[in-house]
Amino acid sequence: MPNKNQHQLNREIRDREIRVISSSGEMLGVMSPYEALRLAEEEDLDLVKISPAAVPPVCKIMDYGKFKFEQQKKDKENRRNQKVVELKEVQLSMTIDVGDVNVKAKQATKFLEAGNKVKVSLRLRGRQMAHANLAKDVMMNFYEILKELAVIEKPINMEGRNLIMILGPAKK
């Protein structure tokens, strides 16, 4: 039995009756696979089952090699046009100054405008662990600067000594 991305061809088609479409695209009607295969061989083409779920299954007379080549070309084009979303990171500290926050916000803005997600992390050192609420305020202030461009995909979460928040680009 062929796998799901392969079509049944010619003598592999074992259905009692099939609906046949000619190579020019016109409907030839319902017939036995033997008759349809004879028609395909007269045109020196293949009989390909294109819709096995239909009742009766739909088969088309076509050049299967050319069809597969076109399919591969389409798949390659689709892969080329895919946008890969990366996760970029911006690190803050609890004692960060306003100017530095603005620099980090500008950096995060570039990432978000490029369509990437931004992981905002803040590492707590020593006695800062006792004041995690102040660190959350720093992160929320950072988000307030970016709120027109970003949405919070993963809210502020404590992982060990780090506070982590993930921002995604806002839908326009």
Give tens-digit pLDDT for 80-126: 887 777 899 999 998 989 899 999 999 999 999 988 999 999 999 98
CATH assignment at residue 124: 3.30.110.10
Please report the pLDDT score of residue 5 as a whole number.
Answer: 57
What order of strands is seen across the sheet that includes strand 162-169? 87-92, 117-123, 162-169, 150-159
- Is this model's pTM higher than 0.75 or not? no
Phi, psi (deg, nearest 5) at residue 76: -65, -40
Residue 3 in domain: no
Residue 72 in domain: yes
- Domain total of the chain: 2
Could you tell me if 158 and 97 lie in one domain? yes
Could you tell me if 98 and 72 lie in one domain? no
The pLDDT of residue 19 is above 80: yes
The pLDDT of residue 148 is above 80: yes
Phi, psi (deg, nearest 5) at residue 110: -60, -45
d(CA 30, CA 51): 14
Could you tell me if 42 and 109 lie in one domain? no
Confidence label for 2 from pLDDT (cuts 50, 70 and 90): very low
Please report the pLDDT score of residue 1 as a whole number.
Answer: 41
Could you tell me if 55 and 105 lie in one domain? no
Could you tell me if 72 and 101 lie in one domain? no
CATH assignment at residue 54: 3.10.20.80
For the stretch 44-89, pLDDT in tens is 898 888 888 888 889 999 998 898 899 899 989 888 887 777 899 9
Please report the pLDDT score of residue 163 as a whole number.
Answer: 92
Could you tell me if 54 and 107 lie in one domain? no
E strand residue ranges, 63-161: 87-92, 117-123, 150-159
Could you tell me if 58 and 98 lie in one domain? no
Residue 2 in domain: no
Residue 101 in domain: yes
Could you tell me if 72 and 106 lie in one domain? no
Could you tell me if 64 and 16 lie in one domain? yes
Q: Encoding tokens for residue 108?
A: 């995060």
| Range of the structural domain that residue 102 is part of | 87-169
